[in-house]
């Protein structure tokens, strides 16, 4: 199957600034693709071009086989989008917004009635459904924006920072909804600057920085690509002998060992989940009793730092 989205040399300039800079990217049908990057990376600009809201300066993209420049109407027919900053000035209440959207998507009166209620309940907006949209909080507005995508069940859903301003319980609900939507067959592009969100939801992640795509792969591969990025702390009952330290060093996955205390070893290694059983075996065979062992994996934060040379906080300061 050809990729459902093929982005080719896509570029958007605002004056001298290349907000999106010759972007090439393919998105597979049925995946959640996380577009990760700090403020100003170009995520929203890229998304708005895909959604045919703004025109590229250069390059193009094929969405479901349709060129965003030549067939914007066809492209729009495949998409549902939840904007980073929802504008809902033309209708009065959450119920109106979602009901109107359901109408546009061609739901029958009966189905509309049922689904509007169901979707508003899912995003916890059934109770305040008759509130004026101007009186909604930022988080409530984001929930209504998500409801539009949920009622549409589009072939391709684009969600731009879907959980900013949303409380923890709401975040988990929205994450589950996005996973369900994917499982029902939608392809999802998720723009976010939350590393945890990208890691948790995405089948693949692309890291954007200053309009360019730095790297793109599964979260796991990205994390594994950092040499010695896994850490295990082993606390032994007795002091570690130099021989045992040497034997541990001989595992090819072990990049470095630090003897934090005479009894405590910290191992920097790759593919921790495969190596730990072997390490435990070795220690048992050599009669070295272990008090405790603790593992930690690198996060996408480490991946981001690795590829940009910045932590995401620094990158945000840098842009701001
Ligand atoms: N209409 C515009 N006119 C001029 N510059 C713009 C415009 N829209 C975006 N930019 C600039 O383009 C760059 C990319 O912005 P964009 O909104 O795409 O970033 P983003 O990755 O979505 O960031 P965020 O995480 O803050 O949402 C920024 O430097 C921004 O100031
Ligand atoms: Mg944005």
> Looking at ligand 1, which residue's alpha carbon is closest to its atom 17?
44
DSSP string, 184-241: TT-EEEEEES-HHHHHHH-SEEEEEETTEEEEEE-HHHHHHTSTT-EEEEEEESSPPP
Neighbours of 138 (CB within 10 A): 12
Mean pLDDT of the 79-97 span: 86
Whether pLDDT at 228 is above 90: no
Ligand nearest to the CA of 57: 1
Ligand nearest to the CA of 36: 1
User: Interior CA angle at 258 toward 257 and 262, to 5°?
Assistant: 120
Helix (H) or strand (E) holding 114: helix 109-122
Q: 255, exposed or middle or buried, with CB in 10 Å at 0-12, 13-18, 19+? A: middle
CA of 14 to the centre of ligand 1 (A): 9
Residue 180's pLDDT band, with cuts at 50, 70 and 90, is: very high
Residue range 47-63, pLDDT digits in tens = 999 999 999 999 999 99
Whether pLDDT at 227 is above 70: no
Q: For the whole model, what pTM was predicted?
A: 0.81
pLDDT given at position 320: 45
Residue 90's pLDDT band, with cuts at 50, 70 and 90, is: low
Q: Which of 45, 158, 198 to mutate to test the pocket of ligand 1 (most atoms within 8 A of CB)?
A: 45
Ligand nearest to the CA of 212: 1
CA of 264 to the centre of ligand 2 (A): 45
Mean pLDDT of the 76-82 span: 95
Report d(CA 209, CA 318) in Å as an integer: 11
Atom nearest to 208 CA in ligand 1: 21
Report d(CA 230, CA 88) in Å as an integer: 46
Its sign, for the CA torsion 4, 163, 76, 182, is positive
Domains and their CATH numbers in the chain: 5-223 (3.40.50.300), 228-296 (3.30.70.100)
Whether pLDDT at 89 is above 80: no
Neighbours of 173 (CB within 10 A): 18
- Mean of the per-residue pLDDT values of the chain: 91
Residue list, CB under 5 A from ion ligand 2: 43-44, 84
End-to-end CA distance of the chain: 41
Report d(CA 68, CA 75) in Å as an integer: 6
DSSP string, 26-72: EE-TT-EEEEE--TTSSHHHHHHHHTTSS--SEEEEEETTEETTT-H
pLDDT given at position 71: 97
Give how far Cα 226 sits from Cα of 197, 205, 219, Å.
20, 15, 12
CA of 319 to the centre of ligand 2 (A): 13
> Looking at ligand 1, which residue's alpha carbon is closest to its atom 16?
42
Residue range 232-257, pLDDT digits in tens = 889 999 999 999 999 999 999 998 88
Report d(CA 61, CA 291) in Å as an integer: 56
Residue located via tokens 């594994």: 224
pLDDT given at position 301: 77
Mean pLDDT of the 113-134 span: 94
Q: Which of 19, 164, 197 to mutate to test the pocket of ligand 1 (most atoms within 8 A of CB)?
A: 19
Mean pLDDT of the 129-157 span: 93
Report d(CA 306, CA 22) in Å as an integer: 22
Q: Which of 35, 44, 51, 213 to mutate to test the pocket of ligand 1 (most atoms within 8 A of CB)?
A: 44
Measured from CB, residues less than 6 Å from any atom of ligand 1 are 14, 17, 19, 37, 39-45, 84, 193
Report d(CA 214, CA 208) in Å as an integer: 6
């Amino acid at each position: 199957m050809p990729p459902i989205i093929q982005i080719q040399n896509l570029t958007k300039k605002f004056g001298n600034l290349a907000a999106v800079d010759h972007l090439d990217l393919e998105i597979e049908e049925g995946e959640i693709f996380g577009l990760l990057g700090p403020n100003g990376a170009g995520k929203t600009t890229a998304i708005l071009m895909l959604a045919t809201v703004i025109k590229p300066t250069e390059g193009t993209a094929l969405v479901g086989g349709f060129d965003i420049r030549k067939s914007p109407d066809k492209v729009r027919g495949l998409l549902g989008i939840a904007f980073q900053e929802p504008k809902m000035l033309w209708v009065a209440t959450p119920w109106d917004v979602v009901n109107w959207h359901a109408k546009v998507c061609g739901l029958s009166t009966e189905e509309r009635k049922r689904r509007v209620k169901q979707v508003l309940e899912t995003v916890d907006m059934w109770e305040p459904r008759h509130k004026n949209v101007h009186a909604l909080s930022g988080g409530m507005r984001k929930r209504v924006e998500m409801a539009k995508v949920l009622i549409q069940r589009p072939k391709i859903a684009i969600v731009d920072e879907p959980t900013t301003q949303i409380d923890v319980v709401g975040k988990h609900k929205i994450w589950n909804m996005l996973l369900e939507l994917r499982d029902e067959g939608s392809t999802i592009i998720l723009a976010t600057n939350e590393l945890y969100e990208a890691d948790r939801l995405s089948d693949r992640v692309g890291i954007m920085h200053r309009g360019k795509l730095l790297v793109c792969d599964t979260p796991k591969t990205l994390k594994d690509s950092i040499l010695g990025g896994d850490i295990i702390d082993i606390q032994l009952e007795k002091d570690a002998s130099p021989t045992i330290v040497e034997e541990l060093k001989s595992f090819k996955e072990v990049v470095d060992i630090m003897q934090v205390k005479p009894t405590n070893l910290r191992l920097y290694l790759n593919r921790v989940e495969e190596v730990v059983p072997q390490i435990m075996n070795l220690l048992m065979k050599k009669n070295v009793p272990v008090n405790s062992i603790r593992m930690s994996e690198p996060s996408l934060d480490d991946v981001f730092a690795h590829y940009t040379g910045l932590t995401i906080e620094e990158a945000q300061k840098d842009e701001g």
